[in-house]
Amino acid sequence: MESLGIDIGGSGIKAALVNTLTGELLSDRLRMATPQPSTPERVAAVVAEAALQLGWHGPAGIGFPAAVTQGIVRTATNIDHKWIGMDAVELFSEALGQPCTVLNDADAAGLAEIAFGEGRDVAGTVIVLTLGTGIGSAVFNNGILQPNTELGHLLFRGDIAEHYASDAARKAAGLSWEKWGKRLDKYLKHVENLFWPQLLILGGGSSRKFEAFAAQLTTRTPVVAARHRNQAGLIGAAMASSRART
């Protein structure tokens, strides 16, 4: 089964055609800058442009950086506030002229890692954390997703955790991978003490540099980089679209 997968982030929008039975990419991966301001109309226009560039006329799955219930965007931390209350399914389906499925971006990344990546066949609680402009989370128990967890918004050291340990926080503070890794370690310990997972999987932009900070991680829980690294989100978004059609 083939679907268009789109991963909308605070700074970039990624898109590719995906074989949703294997998780393989069937096209090049496009990356376009997230328009600023990232209003619904402007983001929808970039999504439509991505589909055009990939020559795709079919259903699409879209990972969105917010809590999303029944296709409605509920929060907006790293995206324009005009999104709150917006029916994203309707907006994107109209922009593409095709049926769209919309889900939280980290949940999408988690679906890909549980189906085809590091979380495959792992029993118990598996937590996927995406480290990018924000911190996204996907919590699975025996392969079942509990959607819209917002573990990047746990209060940590007097603020929401993503302000301390996201990739954007690393860049803003000009931290080395090593120094940032130490911050991440503190946050991961907080998460493991609250959830007692079997496995922590790191995705998002910083997962591409996993080797540069892995030595700083001292959690009792094993921590691995997402097998699909920063592409997990678009693969999982495409999977969600295929699932919605079966």
| Contact set with ligand BGC (CB under 6 A) | 65-67, 75, 77-78, 104-106, 130, 132, 134, 136, 150, 152-153, 162
Provide the minimum distance between the beta carbon of 245 and ligand BGC in the complex, in angstroms, as a whole number.
24
Output the CA torsion sign for 100, 30, 170, 218. Answer: positive
Identity of the residue, 3 or 104, whose beta carbon is nearer to ligand BGC in the bound complex: 104
Whole-number minimum distance, CB 107 to ligand BGC, in Å?
8
In the complex, least distance from residue 67 CB atom to ligand BGC, rounded to whole angstroms: 5
Distance, C-alpha 117 to centroid of its chain = 14
Distance CA 233, CA 122 (A): 19
**How near is the Cβ of 74 to ligand BGC at its closest, in Å?**
9
- Candidates 232, 154, 210, 141; CA nearest to 186 is 154
Q: How far is the CB of 13 from ligand BGC (least distance, A)?
A: 12
Terminus-to-terminus CA distance in the chain, angstroms? 10
Residue placing its CB nearer to ligand BGC in the complex, 85 or 97: 85
Beta carbons of 65 and 205 less than 8 angstroms apart: no
Of residues 56 and 106, the one with the C-beta less far from ligand BGC: 106
- Give the nearer residue to ligand BGC in terms of CB position, either 17 or 108: 108
